[in-house]
Amino acid sequence: MSSLKEAKSAKQLYDRGERAIARMARMARMDTINGGARALVIAKRLEAMGSRQDYGEVVSWVYRHSNYSCGPYGVYECPECGSAHLGTEGAYACCAMAEDCED
């Protein structure tokens, strides 16, 4: 199995909620690279407005790990077909079902 490649944009994700999570993670990653807390401020604002998604957890994970990666909240391409998925597990699972059926 080939290695995963990070997708160019969160716009490639089908689900609107996943796109928002990926954008927040990329914003947090840029905060760790360039300094600042823009993602944290926006996450707190969204939670105060009643957002159902826990953006604070996304930002917290990226800030905690600070390894130039969005980790499970990043957008990755499936190594087989190239379709975009949120997180590495989703990307690896994309074509895995088709492989299981062939055996």
Domain ranges in the chain? 5-102
DSSP state of 87: S
Q: Who contacts 88 (Cβ-Cβ below 8 Å, separation ≥6)?
A: 4, 72, 74, 76
pLDDT along the chain (103 residues), means of 10: 72 89 94 93 93 92 90 89 88 72 49
Query: pLDDT for 35-49, tens place per residue?
Result: 999 999 999 999 999
Torsion sign, CA atoms 10, 6, 61, 27: negative
pLDDT for residue 97: 61
pLDDT for residue 101: 46
Percentage above 70 pLDDT, the chain: 91
In this prediction the pTM is 0.82
pLDDT for residue 40: 95
